[in-house]
Copies of this chain bind each other. A is one copy, B any other.
């Protein structure tokens, strides 16, 4: 157990809060901990067909480069995570999922964030006429499962939620 002694400083964005806390450790000493208070997120592995998956290419400021990812985003206030998964899929790809199945809920960065990501499989996709969020998405790309396995063998997918989503569906190649 680690108990908060005090919050030393706080940063705030429109969607989350970063606290720098002083905490009391189990042995009586103290330490500083960063704690991001995150609204949670949802992600979707979107199956365009039985053998084809949609990925989005996106510039990630924190990483300083583009990544290839499954569609995902933060929950809006009072939004359910399944709604969020469906909304983000539409906003980032223009496709609506006829079915969304929750695969797993996990914590991506437990050292400094309370973020939880709810990962879904999206099936029975239907193209809508809506515009894509071009402020964030560079391109939408279709890959068959073998092509995705090749990308992973070549270490060209680095995003954790994408790797785990594919793994939960049995689509990760052997890398050992």
Residues on A lying within 8 angstroms of B by beta carbon are 1-2, 9, 11-14, 16, 18, 20-21, 23, 25-27, 29, 32-36, 41, 59-64, 67, 69, 74, 101, 103-117, 121, 134-135, 155, 158-161, 163-164, 167-170, 172, 174-176
Closest 7 CB pairs of A and B: A167-B167, A109-B109, A108-B160, A11-B20, A2-B61, A60-B110, A35-B62
Asked whether, in the complex, the Cβ of A103 is within 8 Å of the Cβ of B176, the reply is: yes
Q: Determine whether the beta carbon of A63 is less than 8 Å from that of B158.
A: no
Measured between beta carbons, the chain B residues less than 8 angstroms from A103 are: 175-176
Give the distance in Å from the alpha carbon of A45 to the alpha carbon of B85 in the complex.
31
What residues of chain B lie closer than 8 Å to A117, measured between beta carbons?
160
